[in-house]
């Protein structure tokens, strides 16, 4: 019987902090959310410390690292300020993303080709701090090739365009975006990179992505936090994990 590679779920808990910050107090606590998603079957915790600290804050990163037994994936822009915080927090992984102050969420992948000379030593420094570095890239061969020539061990493929296509009514667009993700995952894997994916994944669109055999981790946040309002956070995480595992074992469609 063929054995498939298991697929992990990293839960992005940024928006627990968004809700907390709306009132300025300590509730709801991202650390408590991390413990809950861990007990519901999540395989990792992801948190994005943005330059403007609009959701997760420096103390959250420290508290998450101390309190959760799951691997902590520190999403960040490639800046000296973030480098310093990584050297204190020592997360399991760092996912480098482009950051633009005015965006609502990460809008595109990192331009690894265009910033290669700057990113290469930055990635090596993070790796020397013990972090497994991941680069968030669009499903474009040139970006993946550039990622493969750095010390990064992982690429996370941006699934935002696929998410957008799923909101429309043209199945050809959905298939075209999915094909880009599949091709990018195969290419990254052929270069020896571990392949993750994320952005805009939901109960409705996760399965075709989870079925791509080279992808070993999905990072999902906004949809899970929204669904938590209706079905509870633990139930939402459990349902997402079930859908991913079903897709992986061929049970989709
Ligand atoms: N992966 C990366 C690199 C991201 O920037 C984000 C959004 O913060 C996610 C995954 C999760 O995306 P979403 O919140 O749409 O599930």
Strand partners, 134: 95, 154
Q: Is residue 52 over pLDDT 80? A: yes
Helix (H, G, I), strand (E, B), or coil: what is residue 198?
Answer: strand
Mean pLDDT estimate for the chain: 95
| pLDDT tens string 161-216 | 999 999 998 999 999 999 999 999 999 999 999 999 999 999 999 999 999 999 99
- Residues having CB closer than 6 A to ligand 1 are 12, 14, 48, 75, 95, 97, 105-106, 136, 156, 198-201, 219-223
For the CA of 200, the closest atom of ligand 1 is 15
Task: Quote the radius of gyration of the chain (alpha carbons, Å).
Answer: 17
Q: Ligand 1: which of 78, 96, 198 to mutate, judged by most atoms within 8 Å of the beta carbon?
A: 198
237, 9 Cβ separation under 8 angstroms? yes
108 CA from centroid of ligand 1 (Å)? 11
Q: How far is the CA of 2 from the centre of ligand 1 (A)?
A: 31
Tokens of 138: 């669009």
Choosing from 9, 18, 51, 106 the residue with most ligand 1 atoms within 8 A of its CB, the one to mutate for a pocket test is: 106
Q: What is the pLDDT of residue 250?
A: 85
- Predicted confidence at residue 252, as pLDDT, reads 59
**pLDDT (average), residues 72-85:** 97
Q: Which atom of ligand 1 is nearest to the CA of 95?
A: 3
Burial class (CB in 10 A: 0-12, 13-18, 19+), 211: buried
Degrees (nearest 5) of the Cα angle 129, 131, 133? 125
Write down the pLDDT at residue 253. 46
Which of the following is catalytic: 48, 55, 158, 163?
Answer: 48
pLDDT score of 4: 76
Cα–Cα distance measured from residue 248 to residue 213, given in angstroms and rounded to the nearest whole number: 7
* Two tokens, residue 95: 């996912």
2: Cα within 13 Å, side-chain hemisphere: 6
Query: If pLDDT is split at 50, 70 and 90, which confidence band does 48 have?
Result: very high
Cis upstream peptide for 111 (omega within 30°)? no
Q: Give the helix, strand, coil percentages of the chain, each rounded to 5.
A: 45, 15, 35
136 strand-pairing partners: 156
Structural contact between residues 12 and 46, judged by C-beta atoms closer than 8 angstroms: yes
The fourth-level CATH superfamily of domain 8-249 is Aldolase class I (3.20.20.70)
pLDDT band with cut points at 50, 70 and 90 for residue 106: low
Contact indicator for 56, 16 with CB cutoff of 8 Å = no
Q: How far is residue 217's CA from residue 227's CA, in Å, rounded to a whole number?
A: 20
192: left (phi > 0), else alpha (psi -120 to 50), else beta? Answer: left
Of 75, 99, 177, 227, the active-site residue reads: 75
Average pLDDT over residues 56-66: 97
Give domain limits for the chain.
8-249
Token duo for residue 90: 């020592």
Task: Fill in the DSSP letter of residue 71.
Answer: P
What is the pLDDT averaged over residues 151-164? 98
């Amino acid at each position: 019987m063929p054995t498939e590679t298991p697929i992990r779920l990293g839960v992005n808990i940024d928006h627990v902090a968004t809700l907390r910050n709306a009132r300025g107090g300590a509730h709801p606590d991202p650390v408590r959310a991390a413990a809950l998603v861990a007990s519901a079957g999540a395989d990792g915790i992801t948190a994005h410390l943005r330059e403007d600290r609009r959701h997760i804050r420096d103390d959250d990163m420290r508290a998450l690292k101390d309190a959760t037994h799951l691997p902590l994936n520190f999403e960040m822009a490639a800046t000296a300020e973030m480098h310093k915080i990584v050297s204190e927090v020592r997360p399991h992984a760092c996912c480098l993303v482009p950051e633009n102050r005015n965006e609502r969420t990460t809008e595109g992948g990192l331009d690894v080709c265009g910033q290669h000379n700057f990113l290469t030593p930055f990635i090596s420094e993070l790796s020397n701090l013990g972090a497994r570095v991941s680069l968030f890239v669009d499903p474009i061969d040139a970006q993946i090739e550039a990622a493969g020539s750095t010390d990064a061990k992982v690429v996370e493929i941006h699934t935002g365009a696929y998410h957008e296509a799923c909101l429309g009514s043209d199945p050809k667009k959905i298939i075209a975006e999915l094909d880009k993700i599949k091709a990018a995952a195969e290419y990254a894997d052929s270069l020896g990179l571990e392949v993750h994916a994320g952005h805009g994944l939901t109960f409705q669109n996760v399965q075709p992505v989870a079925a791509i055999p080279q992808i070993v981790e999905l990072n999902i946040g906004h949809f899970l936090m929204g669904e938590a309002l209706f079905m509870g956070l633990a139930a939402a995480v459990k349902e997402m994990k079930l859908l991913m595992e079903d897709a992986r074992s061929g049970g989709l469609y």
